[in-house]
Amino acid sequence: MSGAAIGIDVGSTTCKVVAIDAAGNILDRRVEPTDPRIERQVERLVGELRAAAGPDAPLGATGYGRKRVPGARALTEITCHARGAFARARRAAVLVDMGGQDTKVIRIGPAGEVIDFNMNDKCAAGTGRFLEVILGRLQVPFDGLAERVAAAPRAVPVSSTCTVFAESEVISLVAADEPLDGIVKGLHTALASRVAALARGTQAGDEVLMSGGVALNGAMVAALREALARPIRVLPDPQLVGALGAALSVVATR
Amino acid sequence: MILRRLQYELAARAVGPFLTALDDWQRRAKGTKARTGPFSPPLESLRKLKDMMTVHYLSGRYADGAVPVAWVTSGFPVELLRPLGFHTVYPENHAAMCGVQRIVPELSDAVEAEGYSRDLCSYVRSDLGSLDTGRSPAGRLPRPDLLACCTNICQTVLYWYRDLARRFQVPLLLVDTPFVYGEPTDHQIRYVADQLEEGIEMAEKVAGRKLDRAALSEAARLGRDGSQLWGECLETARNRPAPWTGVDGFFHLGPIVAMRGTEECNAYYRMLKDELQDRVKRGIGGLRGEEKHRLLWDNLPVWYATREITTLLGNGGFNFVCTTYTNAWAEASSLIDPADPIVSAARTYSMVMLNRDLPNKLRLLSRMTGEFGADGAVLHSDRSCKPYSIGQVDLKDRLASEYGVKTLLLEADHNDPRAWASELSSNRLTAFMESFG
């Protein structure tokens, strides 16, 4: 198909691939947990999407595994998320991307360019992995999470920002008979406050865009809305924004 | 004593120069290997620099017992010690050598096992670890007779040098410089000047001779001229392309830090300046390829990863043309007055960047990015240097919003590679480069 492209986002947790047409519409997609043998997984997924995009469609790659995608133009997640988000929102904006092992706040300019970005420190606190580890420990399923948290009368404060220490803190809260839903709400509040700290310095009031796998968690979106005191718009297919940006970067350079 | 002195003089004047000459000859015979990566061939002066530092550290091995030895912080007014004949050792400089040679984790482990916290400055951990383990890139440091410490760079040096004073059981000459908000008051300057006068008495006792005031004025003049010359070397990078990278500046800092106030130091910078100016005339840049973007570096270098960082950026056509760190030794030189070496030293050393408020730092950053035509800045958030790193988040926001300078905050530690995340850092640097379009 003429003008089509494939974008691949090899994240720490999931691998996302999209095929788009010249106008940026998604023709096909794949989302899978990342296989440690990246090359094999990438080859298979790209092969599957060639059916929609055509055998010669150019390939753009991003994510931590981007350099292991043969034949692709590699760009960082910052640039790709900005491009993907701009293609969807079509205006200057602040984007919060919450992925498996990093969280970034990107200020996107009126032409879709990256003005500035902040990322989390060198640990998984403040990322999707933090929630995954602790909710797993508490055996709280992701289904119905937003409703549970919304219905919790109060957030039980969780002070640790380190994933490892927070896990033991949460266990002792459970042992002290604190309500489970309140603890889960407290976790989201703690996480949102870390992300809000990254977003400081960006202009108040404007609507904030959100992408990344964590944007699928309604409880996190609500907690972030409260922490930032700003409206949040979750981009369509939030997990695919990086892959979309990677695909757009090769469409644009043809 | 006489024998020891003879050994020291021999090392400084004969053996050291002979060994370095031999080394140079061997290197020439082998032919200089072209530097790989995005950089132009190294400066000719680099060889002289290596020789000078080698002789300095080699003679240092024989200094104790021969001449009085002082261990000195980088911000101490060392001009006061020169006329008294002290051999000066800079533990910070020595620690940086440990950093470059990547032996810090091992040295740090040794002191951490004794109960020193990993949160302590990695220079402190490196040097104390070197004392404990006996491992040193310099072979051996001479035992101090005097410790000279000035708090204008941080408060950590106070505790560090107290620790050294306890270990070596030698006098600690402490100069306390109150933090300067806005401009220093006359009272502040007087307070520091009085301490310098008292310090001279202590140093005289240790050296066993009286300070010659005329010689002090001469040392102050040499110190001032050395700083000015260093400043002129740095200024050559205002040209496009810059004749070197700011990171080269980190390594050429050695003499102005460790030999300030000596003619040898000044002669070196005259030579370096000539070479840099010649490169400018001939249009030779620090990068082999096109210098597409010019950057400012803030904070200490990441000693063990400078090459990694500059190679990544250099391959993308980004060159560091100025750094606030190298600038620190050039900045206050005009304040030194050989006619009044004590009071002018009190003023100069109180007004170093790390002893001044945040508005001053913002003015400095905006002035430097303007003068050097830098369109971006990398602020190294240094886990080991809190006084340098505090306020960087605000500085980043202000630089971007008020001066249109794209700014990246890079988390690392100047000496401890365990605080360095290579993959994450290169990802951030790459994203930063991509943001220039």
pLDDT digits (tens, 9 = 90+) for A34-82: 999 999 999 999 999 999 999 999 999 999 899 999 999 999 999 999 9
Residues of B in contact with A118 (CB under 8 A): 409
pLDDT digits (tens, 9 = 90+) for B251-261: 999 999 988 99
User: What are the helix (H) ranges across B11-134?
Assistant: 16-30, 45-60, 91-100, 104-113, 122-133
CA distances to B119, B170, B345 from B349, rounded to whole Å, are 27, 24, 6
Kindly list the domain boundaries of chain B, sorted by start residue.
2-434
pLDDT digits (tens, 9 = 90+) for B355-370: 999 999 999 999 999 9
The CA distance from A75 to the nearest CA of chain B, in Å, is: 8
| Cross-chain CB nearest to A113 (options B423, B424, B437) | B437
Q: What percent of chain B has pLDDT over 90?
A: 82
Q: Tell me the ipTM for this assembly.
A: 0.86
What torsion, rounded to 10 degrees, do the Cα atoms A242, A246, A252, A253 define?
150
| Cross-chain CB nearest to A117 (options B393, B421, B431) | B431
Look at B435 and A113 and tell me if their CB atoms are within 8 Å.
yes
CB proximity A76 to B under 8 Å: yes
Question: Out of A46-50, A130-134, B26-30, B413-417, which region has the weakest mean confidence (pLDDT)?
Answer: B26-30
Domains identified in chain A and CATH numbers: 5-83+239-252 (3.30.420.40)
Look at A119 and B428 and tell me if their CB atoms are within 8 Å.
yes
Q: Tell me how long chain A is.
A: 254
pLDDT given at position B11: 78
Q: Best mutation site among A67, A83, A122 for testing chain B: the one with the most B CBs within 10 Å?
A: A122
Beta A93-98 vs A208-211: how paired, if at all? parallel
Look at B431 and A115 and tell me if their CB atoms are within 8 Å.
no
pLDDT at A125 over 70: no
- Higher pLDDT among residues B238 and B35, named by residue: B238
Residue A61: its H or E element: strand A59-62
Question: Out of A113-127, B316-330, B336-350, which region has the weakest mean confidence (pLDDT)?
Answer: A113-127
Confidence of residue B410 (pLDDT cuts 50, 70, 90): very high
The CA distance from B120 to the nearest CA of chain A, in Å, is: 19
* Structure-token pair, residue B131: 């004392």
pLDDT given at position A114: 93
Confidence of residue A254 (pLDDT cuts 50, 70, 90): very low
CB proximity B186 to A under 8 Å: no
Q: pTM for this structure? A: 0.90
Question: Out of A139-148, B32-41, B202-211, B343-352, which region has the weakest mean confidence (pLDDT)?
Answer: B32-41
| Cross-chain CB nearest to A76 (options B393, B421, B434) | B434
SS3 A117: strand
The CA distance from A117 to the nearest CA of chain B, in Å, is: 8
pLDDT given at position A161: 67
Residue A195: its H or E element: helix A180-198
| Cross-chain CB nearest to B430 (options A76, A121, A201) | A76
The CA distance from B118 to the nearest CA of chain A, in Å, is: 17
CA distances to A45, B35, B103 from A188, rounded to whole Å, are 33, 51, 42
Look at A116 and B400 and tell me if their CB atoms are within 8 Å.
yes
pLDDT at B33 over 70: no
CB proximity B358 to A under 8 Å: no
Chain A to chain B Cβ contacts (< 8 Å): 39
CB proximity A197 to B under 8 Å: no
pLDDT given at position A203: 62
d(CA B61, CA B56): 9
pLDDT at A253 over 80: no
By C-alpha distance, the chain A residue nearest B424 is: A122
Residues of A in contact with B409 (CB under 8 A): 118
pLDDT digits (tens, 9 = 90+) for B122-156: 999 999 999 999 999 988 899 999 999 999 999 99
| Cross-chain CB nearest to A122 (options B400, B424, B434) | B424
Look at A78 and B393 and tell me if their CB atoms are within 8 Å.
no
| Cross-chain CB nearest to A78 (options B396, B397, B434) | B434
CB proximity A224 to B under 8 Å: no
By C-alpha distance, the chain A residue nearest B395 is: A201
CB proximity A79 to B under 8 Å: yes
DSSP string, B342-406: HHHHHHHHHSSGGGB-HHHHHHHHHHHHHHTT-SEEEEEEETT-HHHHTTHHHHHHHHHHHH--E
pLDDT given at position A201: 66
Look at B434 and A79 and tell me if their CB atoms are within 8 Å.
yes
Look at A118 and B421 and tell me if their CB atoms are within 8 Å.
no
Query: Are the CB atoms for A190 and A166 separated by under 8 Å?
Result: yes
Residues of A in contact with B434 (CB under 8 A): 75-76, 78-79, 114
Residue B36 carries which DSSP code?
Answer: P
Average pLDDT score over chain A = 89
Q: What percent of chain A has pLDDT over 90?
A: 65
pLDDT digits (tens, 9 = 90+) for A67-122: 999 999 999 999 999 999 999 999 999 999 998 888 899 999 998 999 889 887 66
Tokens 């290169």 correspond to: B426
